Structure 1
């Protein structure tokens, strides 16, 4: 699995940098609020604008990539991120930062939606192994983002934005130099295809499950820095530990869980455990050691779930993976868009409340997942959980698959 072509490693490197953007702002949320006079709910809009635009833009990524090809789509996404991140760091108002985070989200949608498909198409091995490679890049990026945000944020809250812009420029050059110029594969994708794909019960079930657990996920990510009330470096280290466990468990533990108990039991078990962690954090919100341990431990549970649910999405719907992924991403990012702002508003009333709402949302996600247990078990019952070689004709059509 680790002996891959240069194309795979170059896209993986760019993916690491792209996913830094998710956790990069964690260590600087409170400093931005303090210096610009913004409330937690206003600062949380940095996540909301980013995720909302990213989710809606996912519906159009297949339309773009099927017309200009994967390499040009990747480079366009990287270029937009460079502009969005750089200009976000140059703003003097919370509204300006929120606006350019939205631009950043548009670029991330174009890049993320194409990166997995490129890795799946070019990698050696099975679909599951390609997804593990992608999740490894995701985990490393999520882990490195807070660390970089904490280190640069200790100098100024602006520097993490400038740092991502510079790293994305490197990623753009690497992508341009290493990826072959390939023409679009298959017929052009229509804008309405992802929405039509949601008529499939299995895809809609997994998408709504992801929407609900993302409420808990982004409550943890966007709100926890406020009750933690630590320095930028300390918050960065906490979320680095979280991201590191997410990477390790998504790559090493998730495939073992799938082989031993299956995707359905693995996802349900990880989500129930995550809900329990959020509940503990909701009870002992005033105790910083509890918040630190809970945040880091949740990375392991989310790592298992992320890999299993991504692979399930790639297999559960009888449509092209590009279309299925765009539809799934559109639904799940709705949870990522609403949760940060909602957590900020609730947190202004009570610091305990966001964690309790996150707990309930994740448990509702488990309930929704279990309504589709027959469809998920059908995948588990296939040889090697439905694994198939990458690079096949069906994979070549999936030029815009997302996470």
Structure 2
């Protein structure tokens, strides 16, 4: 059983302080997060177009997500090491520069394997940005600190929801358009952080330097390990839906853009408004299990009615509501799970989380090529259902999360 007396203050997403009562630096990171996560959604509507233009199989195109998530997972382990030495602001800016560079290079690429490699570089930049952005928002937040995670997840949702619409519009002109679009948006994010982020020591996560071994040491806490493995299983389903569903929806770039606009919009709204209510009513762990179970049913439904277009479209959009809740609930639980620095906890958790996202896309493409188009969704649903079973059998290691939030 994990101790309830953490060295860092506990976070509850149901606290009273207003979500809008945040300092200028928090809003700077918030808007940069929106732009950064537009990059994820921008690419989604053009996956079928990339496959056609570069004469690639679905499994090869889904490697754009596999390389992205695999590099991101490994890079998460060094984000704390880097941030504790150069500060949050420089780490965020470095991540943005790397994203912009590899995205622009991706727009000039002429082969699928070249694009897969460049997408991995994009993942490196995103790792530096994403892990540091979560820590920055939580650290720089004022009395509304409990709402910082909601802001972070809302930024993700807004970025993912607007991204496909822009990506669909640019992709309808040329598939390279979204890659250049991301590079341009990153320039805007870079300028915003340069102007609004603190220049002094307030930009540092901690005065203590983090070692490369700290994330691995953090995983010795069973609560953090359980939540990280749960997130890995959940992300398997998340990226099965995100990376593979464009190939079975049968829509053009504009159509895919609108479907994922609805998906991301619900993700953003529920992460802000519904997740706190669920936590108040049922507690974090129970709410997480409930949302994960329903998400597994949605994936099973997509697998059973893959050839019925309206069912798959409705399921993708509805899944956004579930994912918004799950993202906020899991992230909140992780921040309260163990008595380690939040930056270290975030790095360790994200390492496991994105490993699941690395395996799923390529496996989904291969399963569809070898067997049937419906099998990736059925496998994804089974893996997400396994996450619920895993939580139930390990509940003793994470039940202190709800008790901490009650305090």
**TM-score using structure 1 length:** 0.94
1:201-280 aligned at under 5 Å gives the runs: 201-280=222-301
Contact 2:101 2:183 in 1 (8 A): yes
Once the two structures are overlaid, the 10-residue window that deviates more, 307-316 or 2-11, is 2-11
CA distance in 2, matches of 1:22, 1:290: 24
Once the two structures are overlaid, the 10-residue window that deviates more, 366-375 or 338-347, is 366-375
Contact 1:70 1:182 in 2 (8 A): no
Aligned-partner SS, 1:224:
helix
Q: Hey, what does 1:370 align to over in structure 2?
A: 392
CA distance in 2, matches of 1:318, 1:368: 22
CA distance in 1, matches of 2:138, 2:37: 18
Contact 1:69 1:182 in 2 (8 A): no
Residues 1:146 and 2:164 are matched in the alignment:
yes
Q: CA deviation at 1:321?
A: 1.0
Contact 1:203 1:324 in 2 (8 A): yes
1:49-68 aligned at under 5 Å gives the runs: 49-68=67-86
Aligned-partner SS, 2:131:
helix
Contact 2:34 2:156 in 1 (8 A): yes
CA distance in 1, matches of 2:340, 2:135: 15
CA distance in 1, matches of 2:397, 2:85: 33
CA distance in 2, matches of 1:4, 1:328: 26
Contact 2:236 2:357 in 1 (8 A): yes
Residues 1:191 and 2:212 are matched in the alignment:
yes
**Which ranges in structure 1 are unaligned for 5 or more consecutive residues?**
387-403
Q: Hey, what does 1:96 align to over in structure 2?
A: 114
Q: Hey, what does 2:155 align to over in structure 1?
A: 137
> Aligned match of 1:347 in 368, 385, 389?
368
CA distance in 2, matches of 1:125, 1:151: 40
**Which ranges in structure 2 are unaligned for 5 or more consecutive residues?**
1-18
Residues 1:297 and 2:318 are matched in the alignment:
yes
Contact 1:89 1:161 in 2 (8 A): yes
Aligned-partner SS, 1:206:
helix
Contact 2:98 2:125 in 1 (8 A): yes
CA distance in 1, matches of 2:406, 2:261: 32
Q: Once the two structures are superposed, what CA deviation does each residue of 1:26-69 show, in whole Å capped at 9, x if it has no partner?
A: 11000000111000000001001111101100000001000001
What root-mean-square deviation, in Å, do the aligned CA atoms of Structure 1 and Structure 2 show? 1.1
Aligned-partner SS, 2:173:
coil
Once the two structures are overlaid, the 10-residue window that deviates more, 316-325 or 122-131, is 122-131
CA distance in 1, matches of 2:90, 2:378: 43
CA distance in 1, matches of 2:356, 2:43: 18
Q: CA deviation at 1:379?
A: 2.1
Residues 1:69 and 2:91 are matched in the alignment:
no
Residues 1:27 and 2:27 are matched in the alignment:
no
Q: CA deviation at 1:124?
A: 2.5
Q: Hey, what does 1:399 align to over in structure 2?
A: none
Q: CA deviation at 1:127?
A: 4.0
Contact 1:23 1:143 in 2 (8 A): yes
Aligned-partner SS, 2:248:
helix
Q: Hey, what does 1:321 align to over in structure 2?
A: 342
Q: CA deviation at 1:273?
A: 0.2
Contact 1:263 1:376 in 2 (8 A): no
**TM-score using structure 2 length:** 0.93
Aligned-partner SS, 1:154:
helix
Residues 1:175 and 2:166 are matched in the alignment:
no
Q: CA deviation at 1:126?
A: 4.5
Q: CA deviation at 1:369?
A: 1.4
Residues 1:84 and 2:102 are matched in the alignment:
yes
